Structure 1
Amino acid sequence: MSLRIVYAGTPDFAVPALKALLASPHQVVAVYCQPDRPAGRGRKLTFGAVKQVAVDAGIPVEQPLSLKPLEAQETLRAYAPDVMIVAAYGLILPQSVLDIPRYGCLNIHGSLLPRWRGAAPIQRAIYAGDAQTGVTIMQMAAGLDTGDMLHTVVCPITAQDGGQSIHDKLAELGASALLETLDVLMAGQLQPQVQDEALANYAHKLQKSEAEIDWAQPAVTIDRMIRAFDAYPTAYTLYHGQPLRFFASSIPPLAPCSPASPGTVIAESKAGIDIATGDGVVRVTSLQMPGGKRLSAAEFLNGRSLLGECF
């Protein structure tokens, strides 16, 4: 037995699950993506990652601006889906759309619900210092990530993980978790779990305005910020009036308490650039000068020094 599936997703996060479905016995009858948008210096209209996979596989692609108009809903209904799978789609699905598929709509969400609902669960989990995150396959409801949980998979967050590495891990975990959930669905053995509202947090959309480092903060907070924002919006500090961006960091072992003012570069080595904070020292291991390219600390220090600079 196989299911007729409409898949809705737009960015890289949604690609592994779509590829897993295409390799499964299930039939992906259509793929929904957000409209193509300008990208790059030339501002050319560019396919999203999911659309490219769909086009390569010869799957029909729909890109409505909204799913609220009746015409858009009738188009979806014509595909006669058994289930609609949603992963980082980016459009709101009204109740009338949730009701179209035989088994409703399932969402691949990048957190252990109800811990982080909303747009940026991966980055918020790292920034908050969570020891773990994961993927939740959820039965979609009209509220924001409020539906019943069908399957969860845990993923540890290590001191080396950043937003991008956790994103990639969860994208792959989401693909396997989805196939397992569909097997249980077809067997009629789903056991939905209601979310505990008392445990819910809202993962606000990432803003560029929150990416500037406040060196008066503790080292552990700054380290988590740098790692959480490594892909976007990328943590930065001003250096001669221009943004100096940081992509990776750590807390150096046995770092002595520094009397230096927060934001002062107190040591440099191939291992990283040590910067005093309001409490402790953070070691930057990957960074980018204004107008330059991303470099490791060792590459960055080859011919230049920040020692003694105070950001």
Structure 2
Amino acid sequence: MKLIFAGTPEFAAQALQAIIAAGHEVALVLTQPDRAAGRGMVLRASPVKGLALAAGIEVLQPQTLKDAATQERIRAIAAEVIVVAAYGLILPQAVLEVPRLGCLNIHASLLPRWRGAAPIQRAIMAGDAETGICIMQMDAGLDTGPVLLCGRLPIDRSDTAASLHDKLARLGARLIVEALAGLPLTAQPQAETGVTYAAKIGKDEAGLDWRLPAAMLAARVRAFNPFPGACCALGGDLFKLWRADAVEGTGLPGEILSADREGLVIACGDGALRVTELQKAGGKRLSAAQFLAGTRLLPGSRCALPTT
């Protein structure tokens, strides 16, 4: 099948690799413009661009898909289908109408739950027992199109956004190849009930409110690993918490109940949070045992509460 692929991060690159391996002709790849990254703010190509160039595929990096020149280039390919995975740009109606078999999106949730930009993180934050991949026929709405193929995946209690991302990326790569092989497929409209939206994760969400239940805070630590990293302030220093679980404990919200090789136990609104991996601003990620070997934290001291 002749197709166009639109995607940017590693999640999308795995799907592109699977499509190439399946023998499809990827005639054009659309990806986000190179971004400055790292301490040196050096321009870096997206994982999808790197893979496409290595495979000898033409790459287009428009700022928008609304301009006439870009749309004409897409039409000139005469692709049968456009596959989209975490691209980052909205496909206007003029582009959605180009391919004969439409535009297929690889979405990392069980639609209609968690439409939007951050379905993996929001599913963990909400304590969902499962998630999955939906191969969706795109329309003008925000992840509102009918579903062609769906795969489910349990969310383990130890899953972080990073580990769940990797599992879903593998599932998405497998399902898009299966969907392409079976086209045209029967499209199932999404249910009108159970709709939720997964807003983009912002750094302003990273600060932990110790008045919340420990189970909720443990879910946020997992959801914010690796970005933006759950944060707390103690004694004027900022810390990022990378691994934690909810345990029994009683104290003032934010109060350190114990600090030993087993972890740093901090009282919450209900229960306590045992932190087993953390990082001081400017330092390295360390286990609780390693961290406490160089930093003394006394029981009774308190992590700061949000000011708002």
> What is the TM-score of this pair, normalised by structure 1?
0.94
The reply on whether 1:11 has 2:9 as its aligned counterpart is: yes
- The alpha-carbon deviation at position 172 of structure 1 amounts to 0.7
Quick one: which of 165, 186, 192 aligns to 1:191? Answer: 186
Equivalent AA in structure 1 for residue 68 of structure 2: L
2:187 counterpart SS class: coil
Counterpart AA for 1:95:
Q
- In the other structure, the counterpart of 1:310 is 302
Deviations 1:63-92 (A, max 9, x none): 011111111100111111111100000000
1:170 maps to what in 2?
168
Q: Which residue matches 1:107?
A: 105
- 1:127 pairs, out of 118, 125, 128, with 125
Distance 1:33 1:262 in 2: 45
The letter of the residue matching 1:155 is: L
Question: Could you give the per-residue CA deviations for residues 246-273 of structure 1, whole angstroms, max 9, x where no partner exists?
Answer: 1111123xx3x42x21111212333321
Paired residue for 1:270, among 229, 244, 261? 261
1:227 Cα shift? 0.6
1: CA distance, partners of 2:78 / 2:58: 14
- Looking at structure 2, the residues matched to 271 and 182 of structure 1 have their Cα atoms a distance apart, in angstroms, of 49
Map of 1:291 onto structure 2: 282
Q: Write the distance in 1 (CA, Å) between the matches of 2:294 and 2:278.
A: 15
Which of 267-276 and 117-126 deviates more? 267-276
1:18-38 superposed Cα distances (whole Å, 9 cap, x missing partner): 110111121111111011111
By how many angstroms is 1:197 displaced?
2.5
- The SS at the match of 2:244 is strand
Counterparts of 2:17 and 2:262, CA distance in 1: 39
Which residue, 227, 243, 261 being the options, matches 2:222? 227
| 3-state SS of paired residue (1:195) | coil
- Hey, what's the Cα distance between the residues in 2 that align with 1:29 and 1:107? 18
For the 8 Å contact 1:159–1:250, the answer to whether it is kept is no
Name the residue aligned to 1:95: 93
SS at match of 2:27: strand
Separation in 2 of the partners of 1:303 and 1:176? 46
Question: In structure 1, what residue type is equivalent to 2:127?
Answer: G
Q: Deviations over 1:254-300 (max 9, x none)?
A: x3x42x21111212333321111010011112111011011122221
Q: Distance in 1 between matches of 2:10 and 2:19?
A: 15
Find the aligned partners of 2:138 and 2:262 in 1 and give their Cα distance: 46
State the AA in 2 paired with 1:220. A
Partner of 2:209: 214
1:102, CA displacement in angstroms?
1.3
Extract structure 1 runs of 4+ deviating beyond 4 A: none
What amino acid maps onto 2:58 in structure 1? Answer: P
Name which of 270, 273, 289 aligns with 1:279: 270
Instruction: Give CA-to-partner distance per residue, 1:96-141, whole Å, 9 cap, x none.
Output: 1011111110000010000000011110011011111111100000
How many residues align? The count is 302
Once the two structures are aligned, what percentage of the paired residues are identical?
A: 51
Shift in Å at residue 305 of structure 1? 2.9
1:37 and 1:132 map into 2 onto residues whose CA distance is: 33
Alignment counterpart, residue 197 of structure 2, candidates 160, 179, 202 = 202
Q: Which amino acid aligns with 1:262?
A: P
Which amino acid is 1:74 matched to? E
Whether contact under 8 Å (1:7, 1:85) holds in the other structure is yes
Spell out the pairing of 1:62-77 with structure 2 (5 A cutoff): 62-77=60-75
Q: Which residue of 2 aligns with 1:136?
A: 134
SS at match of 1:227: helix
SS in 2 for 1:167: helix
- Structure-2 separation of matches of 1:307 and 1:158: 33
CA distance in 2, matches of 1:180, 1:285: 40
How far 1:199 moved relative to its partner?
Answer: 1.3
Gaps in structure 2 of 5+ consecutive residues: 304-308
Hey, what's the Cα distance between the residues in 2 that align with 1:114 and 1:32? 26
